[in-house]
Amino acid sequence: MDRAIRTVDDVLQLLDGLFAREADRWTADGADWWDGFYTDRAKPVPFFVDKPDENLVSYLARGLITPGRALDLGCGPGRNALHLASLGFEVDAVDLSPVAIAWAEERAREAGAAVRFHRGDAFTLVGTELTGTYDLIYDSGCFHHLPPHRRVSYLALLDQALAPGGHFGLTCFAAGGMGSEEPDAAFYLQSTLHGGLAYTPESLRWIFSDLVEVELRRMRDEPPESAHFGEPFLWTALFTASR
């Protein structure tokens, strides 16, 4: 007889187990899938480019966010973290994949950028290795890889780590552009996330309703010669926390 459920964490871990085949994509237990993904740097993956997101550049250019302490969630090869550091932010950047972190550190050395890179799961690193609060928490492509129940953990992370009056920036799969549009319950019945979850503006506003919306729009399509990254299958959003 197994009676293992007593706390919210017990429930979350039970639900995690339903997606065991895809756990390397979003848990601290391993990063094999992402390591394999990042190993071949020549693959035609849009976000392998060494360019910051066009929306992040726009927020800074318009003064919607200003230099401070920043946390980059799912930083990959570090393109947004390096941009923030170049503009005077004090940056912590997190990713599950050691291969991605090694690539990001290589780019940082070449650029002379001071970024603190951390390998691991942000849910466990925040409050331990990552302490204090951040003026900016930025997520370019991590949120849409989480199973629905881990939104609870994600919101708790924001509540703990986002400073009063701080900003939360997000890019994620847009419904009609990329990602699965199955209802939340279907992912548990099928035990797969189908490569990532699509979101609508209404769903993002509801999930992050404790924050104040600053801007929510499609990412602009940037041509190859642009200095910025932009793909229209993504939403871009900027929210701020109450003071």
Tens of pLDDT, residue by residue over 147-198, are: 999 999 999 999 999 999 999 999 999 999 999 999 999 999 999 999 999 9
Tell me the residue type at 49. V
Tell whether the model's pLDDT for residue 32 goes beyond 90.
no
Q: Are 134 and 70 in contact (CB under 8 A)?
A: yes
Tell whether the model's pLDDT for residue 26 goes beyond 70.
no
- pLDDT for res 243: 82
Average pLDDT over residues 125-133: 94
Domains and CATH numbers, the chain: 8-40+53-240 (3.40.50.150)
- pLDDT for res 7: 95
Average pLDDT over residues 212-236: 97
How are beta strands 162-173 and 134-140 bridged, if at all? parallel
- pLDDT for res 112: 95
pLDDT in tens, 36-69: 889 899 888 888 999 999 999 999 999 999 999 9
Is residue 28 very low, low, confident or very high in pLDDT (cuts 50, 70, 90)?
low
Tell whether the model's pLDDT for residue 115 goes beyond 90.
yes
Tell whether the model's pLDDT for residue 24 goes beyond 80.
no
Write the CA distances from 157 to 2, 19, 64, 173, 220, integer angstroms: 30, 21, 22, 21, 28
- pLDDT for res 91: 98
pLDDT in tens, 51-60: 999 999 999 9
- pLDDT for res 58: 98
